[in-house]
Amino acid sequence: MKIWQFSEQAYHPAFQEPGAMRVTLPQNQCDPVLAGQLINRYLDEYMLADELGLNIMINEHHAAATCMSVSCMGTLAILARQTRKARLLALGIPLGNRTDPLRVAEEIAMVDAISGGRLEVGLVKGAAYELFMSNRQPTRFMDRFWEAHDLIIEALTNQGDNFAWEGDFYHYRTVSLWPRAIQTPTPPIWMTASSASSAKGYAQRDYTCATFLSGAVARSVFDGYRASYLEAHGRLPSPDKLAYLALVSCANDRETAFRRANHMKSYFTTAARCDPQFRNPAGFMSVADNMRLVKAGPTAMRPKLRGGQLLPVDGSIEQYMEAGLMFVGTPDEVYEQLAQFNTDTGGFGNLLMMGQAGELNHEDTVDNLTLMAKEVAPRLAELTMIEPNVSFEGVA
């Protein structure tokens, strides 16, 4: 298992403000000098991750105090230049909210070229509540996503003449990437899934499938992927094709690890602060999905504890650990927890590790990353591949 360091790069001083942390929080709450200092600090931590032999994951959000990276590729353009060894993962570029997919392809190619071919590209839908910033049409969101995807792949793989694109959503007179991406046919493509059914399509395309903070559901996502991969390619996927995102707090003693975890927990409590009218814009979900959502109820997607009860947003660190969203303890304990989770989910090759989250400060983050890189990563790299359960009971 490989580790990818990830931070949402929060403007955590705003966490004390009452109300929503997304969409409606006014920008007058942001001190730009402090924001710049924080972003530089997070970039320093990413550079440390590179020095320590960890890989790097970047995301983006908009109009949110919880995440100051407003462009995966903008942040990765910096890190492509300033890091040396780490694989650089954008997870992801919100295609449904982007206006110009050709520009996305250009940025992918440029960052891959600058980094010497170290880029990995996550193409994701984008957050529903960020349609209020992009103002893109919500209806047929996924049709637009897949057309943008097809155009980007065609642009990246094209070895022949320039081409024109006349689609339902996008029209380009000529597509010509300068520079081209180094990696062929494309940098590795990632997508995110929260159910077995969405994972299936990614398996058929041979894309890496990541699931975020999904706890026990990760098993069914991974099983769905494995079953579909076997069907499509005649063999099981390498564990490298599967990824799980969770918060990790590691320290030399358990007490410090829990103290750090408590500083990180504000990631969960602030991420949830978004007014309900922005969560499901008109037309964003298909008619069938909207009907399913009503029937399933508002808590259907919330992670659960082992007994089936919902994990409270302001749950204890122990509850977050039980649900598989946090791994906390000494290096030995964190390794044991991750190894157990790896077994429980049938095995995955990529830990997308939030080694910094919420209000965790620089010194604690440095120690956390250092311990994970030096004492846990070598053992995770040697984790034995799990023999998959061929019944794939999670698929249904």
Partner 1 sequence: MLTRAEAEKKMQVGAPAIPADLTTLSEEQLKRIARNTEALSLFGWSPYLNNPKLGLRMHRISLPTLLLWGEQDEILGAEYRETYATALPGARIEILANAGHRLHADQTDGIAALVTNFATAQAV
Q: Which residues of this protein are in contact with partner 1, per CB under 8 A?
A: 135-139, 275-278, 281-284, 287, 290-291, 294-295, 297
d(CA 336, CA 380): 10
**At CA 155, angle to CA 189 and CA 181, rounded to 5?**
65
CB of 272 to partner 1, least distance (A): 17
Based on CB atoms, which residue is closest to partner 1, 13 or 138?
Answer: 138
Query: Angle, to 10 degrees, between the axis of helix 32-51 and the axis of helix 362-371?
Result: 20
- Helix spans in 29-165 (H): 32-51, 72-82, 101-114, 131-134, 141-157
Based on CB atoms, which residue is closest to partner 1, 138 or 201?
Answer: 138
By CB atoms closer than 10 A (0-12, 13-18, 19+), residue 169 is middle
CB of 100 to partner 1, least distance (A): 16
Based on CB atoms, which residue is closest to partner 1, 291 or 381?
Answer: 291
Based on CB atoms, which residue is closest to partner 1, 160 or 276?
Answer: 276
d(CA 347, CA 383): 9
- The answer to whether 114 and 162 are in contact (CB under 8 A) is no
Based on CB atoms, which residue is closest to partner 1, 18 or 276?
Answer: 276
d(CA 245, CA 178): 33
Amino acid identity of residue 174, one-letter, is T
Based on CB atoms, which residue is closest to partner 1, 275 or 393?
Answer: 275
CB of 286 to partner 1, least distance (A): 8
- The answer to whether 19 and 272 are in contact (CB under 8 A) is no
d(CA 343, CA 346): 5
d(CA 121, CA 218): 21
Based on CB atoms, which residue is closest to partner 1, 222 or 284?
Answer: 284
CB of 269 to partner 1, least distance (A): 21
d(CA 187, CA 299): 36
Q: How many CB atoms lie within 10 A of CB 268?
A: 21
HSE, CB side, 13 Å, CA atoms: give it for residue 156: 30
Quote the distance between the C-alpha of residue 295 and its chain's center. 28
CB of 273 to partner 1, least distance (A): 15
CB of 132 to partner 1, least distance (A): 8
CB of 129 to partner 1, least distance (A): 11
**At CA 222, angle to CA 118 and CA 206, rounded to 5?**
45
Helix (H) or strand (E) holding 295, with range, is helix 287-296
Based on CB atoms, which residue is closest to partner 1, 24 or 194?
Answer: 24
Based on CB atoms, which residue is closest to partner 1, 234 or 297?
Answer: 297
CB of 10 to partner 1, least distance (A): 24
Task: Look up residue 229 and give its DSSP letter.
Answer: H
CB of 135 to partner 1, least distance (A): 5
